[in-house]
Amino acid sequence: MEKYYVFIATVLMILHIVHAQDQTGFISVDCGLTPGEPPYNALLTGLTYTSDAGLVNSGKTSAIAKEFESGYSKPTLSLRYFPDGVRSCYNLNVSRDTNYLIKATFVYGNYDGLKIDPNFDLYLGPNLWTTVSTNDTIEEIIHVTKSNSLQVCLVKTGISIPFINVLELRPLRKNVYVTQSGSLKYLFRAYLSNSGRSIRYPNDIYDRKWYAFFVEKSWTSVNTTLNVNATNGYELPEDVMATGATPLNVNATLNITWTVEPPNTQFYLYMHFAELQTLRANDIREFNMTVNGNFSYGPYSPKPLKTETVFDLAPEQCEGGACLLQLKKTPKSTLPPLLNAIEAFTVIEFPQMETNGDDVSGIKNVQDTYGLSRISWQGDPCVPKKFLWDGLNCNDSDISTPPIITSLDLSSSGLNGNITQAIQNLTHLQKLDLSNNNLIGEIPEFLADIKSLLVIDLSRNNLSGSVPPSLLQKKGLKLNVEGNPNLLCTSGSCVNKGENGHKKKSIVVPVVASIASVAVLIGALVIFFVLRKKKPSKVEGPHPPSDGRSEPAIMTKNRRFTYSEVVTMTNNFQGILGKGGFGIVYHGFVNGGEQVAVKMLSHSSSQGYKQFKAEVELLLRVHHKNLVSLVGYCDEGENLALIYEYMANGDLKEHMSGTRNRFILNWGTRLKIVVESAQGLEYLHNGSKPPMVHRDVKTTNILLTEHFQAKLADFGLSRSFPIEGETHVSTVVAGTPGYLDPEYYRTNWLTEKSDVYSFGIVLLEIITNRPVIDQSREKPHIAEWVGVMLTKGDIKSIMDPSLNGDYDSGSVWKTVELAMSCLNPSSARRPTMSQVVIELNECLAYENSRGGASGDMDSKSSIEVSLTFGTEMSPTAR
């Protein structure tokens, strides 16, 4: 037995060396490790843990009581606790827009001798993550970062002192564990085996912890000693996928039950399959999946020794919170269903936006410059409001934009040195109070450049020199510089020595507008409003009179801009981004620097107010990472504008045609773009309530961010299906020639399959890089031309020659087949967008696995399920 353990230890040591490079991007923090202690490698995993020095600026270190030590090992033996203050936060440097697995470990171990059960809140940034209320637990979440910093905060809510033992972050692949919104909170993770062994790093390269789950007497285990290919993006450990379970009775179903609390909780389910048995010639393993008796997916057959993941595309619920997953064999199947591993996560929404990034950077630079160690200056500066930093006031009234810092009061804070330039990053500041400190040097001119500043109090410091003229001339500014004996500008007057050495009087401080200026301003405003009132057609009601439209007003006033604001944000319509049937699209800036695209409705536009209204109301209602976001709109008289998020890389058509730049989009990038576009379209069809049909899917309406993330745009022609069970809408045909569904054109019956047809044309465009309509071809329409080429069986005649054969032929053929199925003359025989997403992910996985690289995904389906095992599946910190 001793030799066995020695052998295992030796193997683990070798594995640690082999996998050492896999820790790139990992953050592993032993929160109780003192700053002087060096990093170390954990015994069982080989993970390298470091001290939390520099990550948190409060708290004290301790260790669990001696009597509990035998049940644990480093790094859970030590901890940091926070007896002072309400909120204590770790500040972590992360990569923006990255999917992270985040784990926080809490082992009380009676470290303080008080035997008080923990009860405190855990926050991720400004949003509540969970409440820690057990003596031994790991809280786990999968979360996409919004910036290059992440804050994990512990909040005292009662007599219990917050503490933490370990904090770990593991970056995941971008295209796995994707949600429509929110983050994923761990519910359970299990592999079906009777081994009783838990598996984590280095076997799992993402350091997920897998618990053995095999309890049913009516089940039997299935395993293999052969290698199982697990490179499908989720990268499951081979030990997990080399085992599974099936019912003993060949005709029995494989049942898994669980509950969720509260009963209406939404969740995502991930099931991992691989065929482990060598099937005989006549053997078939095929089964369907149902949840609470409702069909979810199938028929499905696991691939021999190859991992496939079946997962939810949309969050699910179980009625009453009680869930039953059943895998049932089909009539032609000779073998019972098989399941290898399963994961489940509840959906947790984080609605509160973090404070404006520039403001956060500015205030932290101020903090660092002056060495401020206020106990409240931890976590997000502005939100939640109950944790607002002392000395700050913020504006967070618009939930669609990040909160901003509007006031900074550092009066009597013991400040030394010059007035820091970091203040100029606080571009929304209205009031600045630096009075009663020991500041020296001259008053910086950049204070005059902060346009929103109305009050500056620099009194009772040791400032010198003279007040910058730009500050003295700034209208509406109240400036107080009293009590600075070396400053040439005092409370009575600003004095400078002239050429003859005599003093000259200057402007009185504080700076105020003259009475005459105020009178003129008031008079001008009175005249403006009188004239404005005489033109009710320009301001009364939500629609302009010019086209006689009688459409009802847009129901919401959120994100509404005036025409004058549109003029300002576009710098009087200087930068043109493009032109279309709607009108001209201009480059603009809002919220102190956020780039936007402003689409102005041309008076001669063929698209009228009805389409404008439809697009605004749709985009105010639907939100998805692959749909272009609406920043706001303008509906003022004849002036109609849509303000979108700025898409730095234009549209897909530009990149395919080469008009945008000279480089060629490779096949993998093209697939990624259409996968993301398909996800946006799938959301409109299935995630939107009511479901929507886009009606104008084409490459010019697929826009790209600076990182080439694809987002679907232009929803002016979109239509909804408001009546439950309605299969189509009878409507006047609308769309773009070449992309238009022939069945829709012929019958005027619009269904979501019309979008599928248009998307099939998009797929042919990325495959061939040829025009949709080309009269010089024997078959002008791209679908007909590709159909003729396919009869010859030569993929090279179809593929874009600029790719020079640099692609996985299997991936290409599968994409071509998918495109042609989308173009089936009968809409009933076309795939759904959910099926299109699944197939495209497989195409991308094939391409990404080319040359030994692991694919992004090898997923087979969307399934609608729910979750929660018993307490035995909850992670503990052993």
| pTM assigned to the model | 0.58
**How far apart are the C-alpha atoms of 463 and 477, rounded to whole Å?**
19
Q: Is the pLDDT of residue 304 over 60?
A: yes
Query: Residue 635 — very low, low, confident or very high, per pLDDT cuts 50/70/90?
Result: confident
Q: What are phi and psi of 259, to 5 degrees?
A: -130, 155
Mean pLDDT of the chain: 82
Q: What is the pLDDT of residues 670-701, one digit of tens each?
A: 999 999 999 999 988 888 777 888 888 999 99
In this structure, are 638 and 667 located in the same domain? no
Beta bridge partners of 166: 30, 105
In this structure, are 245 and 383 located in the same domain? no
Q: What is the pLDDT of residue 797?
A: 83
Q: At 601, which helix (H) or strand (E)?
A: strand 594-601
**Tokens for 633?**
């709109």
Q: What is the pLDDT of residue 820?
A: 93
Domain assignment of residue 486, given as a range: 357-398+401-512
Structure letter (DSSP) for residue 607: S
The CATH number given to whatever domain includes residue 637 is 3.30.200.20
Residue 102 included in any domain: yes
Report the candidate in 208, 220, 209, 214 with the shortest Cα–Cα distance to residue 196.
214
Structure letter (DSSP) for residue 3: H
**How far apart are the C-alpha atoms of 214 and 546, rounded to whole Å?**
72
Residue 51 included in any domain: yes
In this structure, are 827 and 721 located in the same domain? yes
Q: What is the pLDDT of residue 99?
A: 95
Query: Residue 874 — very low, low, confident or very high, per pLDDT cuts 50/70/90?
Result: low
DSSP codes, 644-667 = EE--TT-BHHHHHHTSS-SSPPPH
Q: List own/partner pairs for 821-824 with CB under 8 A and 24 or more apart.
A: 821/760, 822/756, 822/757, 822/759, 822/760, 822/763, 823/757, 823/760, 823/761, 823/764, 823/783
Query: Residue 429 — very low, low, confident or very high, per pLDDT cuts 50/70/90?
Result: very high
Residue 203 included in any domain: yes
294-322: average pLDDT: 89
8-37: average pLDDT: 65
In this structure, are 105 and 129 located in the same domain? yes
Q: What does the angle CA 679 – CA 682 – CA 687 come to, to the nearest 5 degrees?
A: 110
Domain boundary among 645, 678, 712: 645
Q: What does the angle CA 655 – CA 656 – CA 659 come to, to the nearest 5 degrees?
A: 55
Total domains, the chain: 5
Structure letter (DSSP) for residue 335: B
Q: What does the angle CA 254 – CA 255 – CA 261 come to, to the nearest 5 degrees?
A: 155
Residue 844 included in any domain: no
Q: What is the pLDDT of residue 35?
A: 86
In this structure, are 123 and 83 located in the same domain? yes
Query: Residue 605 — very low, low, confident or very high, per pLDDT cuts 50/70/90?
Result: low
Radius of gyration of the chain (CA): 32
**How far apart are the C-alpha atoms of 33 and 75, rounded to whole Å?**
8
Binding residues: 599
- Give 6: exposed, middle or buried? Use CB within 10 Å, 0-12, 13-18, 19+: exposed
Q: What is the pLDDT of residues 765-818, one digit of tens each?
A: 999 999 999 888 888 999 999 988 887 666 678 899 888 888 888 889 899 999
Q: What is the pLDDT of residue 489?
A: 59
Domain boundary among 172, 195, 230: 172
Q: What is the pLDDT of residue 593?
A: 72
Helices then strands, counting H and E runs in the chain, come out as 15, 46
Contact (CB, 8 A) for 245 and 319: no
**Tokens for 446?**
């950049």
Top-confidence residue, 375 or 189: 189
In this structure, are 366 and 479 located in the same domain? yes
Residue 478's contacts (CB-CB under 8 Å, 6 or more residues apart) are: 454, 455, 456, 510, 511, 512
Beta bridge partners of 123: 128, 153
Residue 526 included in any domain: no
Q: Is the pLDDT of residue 424 over 90?
A: yes
Q: Is the pLDDT of residue 514 over 80?
A: no
Residue 94 half-sphere exposure toward CB, CA atoms < 13 A: 26
In this structure, are 261 and 374 located in the same domain? no
In this structure, are 561 and 492 located in the same domain? no
In this structure, are 632 and 657 located in the same domain? no
In this structure, are 160 and 204 located in the same domain? no
Residue 110 included in any domain: yes
Q: Which residues are catalytic?
A: 696
Q: What are phi and psi of 14, to 5 degrees?
A: -65, -45
Q: Considering the chain, what percentage of its residues have pLDDT values greater than 90?
A: 51
In this structure, are 59 and 166 located in the same domain? yes
Q: Is the pLDDT of residue 861 over 80?
A: no
Q: What is the pLDDT of residue 538?
A: 30
Q: What is the pLDDT of residue 715?
A: 73
**Tokens for 797?**
């005649």
- Is residue 124 classed as helix, strand or coil in its secondary structure? strand
Q: What Cα–Cα distance (Å) separates residue 95 from each residue in 143, 149, 267, 365?
A: 12, 8, 26, 20
Domain boundary among 130, 148, 172: 172
Structure letter (DSSP) for residue 221: E
**How far apart are the C-alpha atoms of 199 and 545, rounded to whole Å?**
69
Per-residue burial over 32-64, b = 16 or more CB atoms within 10 Å of its CB, e = otherwise? bbeeeeeeeebeebbbebbbbeebbbbbebeeb
Query: Residue 495 — very low, low, confident or very high, per pLDDT cuts 50/70/90?
Result: very low
Residue 62 included in any domain: yes
Q: Is the pLDDT of residue 361 over 70?
A: yes
Q: What is the pLDDT of residue 431?
A: 95
Q: What does the angle CA 52 – CA 166 – CA 35 come to, to the nearest 5 degrees?
A: 25
Report the candidate in 109, 156, 150 with the shortest Cα–Cα distance to residue 132.
156
Size of the chain in residues: 878
One-letter amino acid identity for 362?
Answer: G
403-427: average pLDDT: 94
Determine how β-strand 149-156 pairs with β-strand 120-124. antiparallel
Beta bridge partners of 103: 140, 168
Q: What is the pLDDT of residue 276?
A: 96
One-letter amino acid identity for 713?
Answer: A
Greatest alpha-carbon pair distance for the chain in Å reads 112
Q: Is the pLDDT of residue 718 over 60?
A: yes
Q: Is the pLDDT of residue 555 over 80?
A: no
303-329: average pLDDT: 90
Q: What is the pLDDT of residue 876?
A: 62
148-177: average pLDDT: 94
**How far apart are the C-alpha atoms of 739 and 697, rounded to whole Å?**
7
Q: What is the pLDDT of residue 284?
A: 96
The CATH number given to whatever domain includes residue 813 is 1.10.510.10
In this structure, are 477 and 593 located in the same domain? no
Report the candidate in 398, 405, 457 with the shortest Cα–Cα distance to residue 432.
457
Residue 708 included in any domain: yes
Binding residues for ATP: 599
87-115: average pLDDT: 95
**How far apart are the C-alpha atoms of 141 and 466, rounded to whole Å?**
55
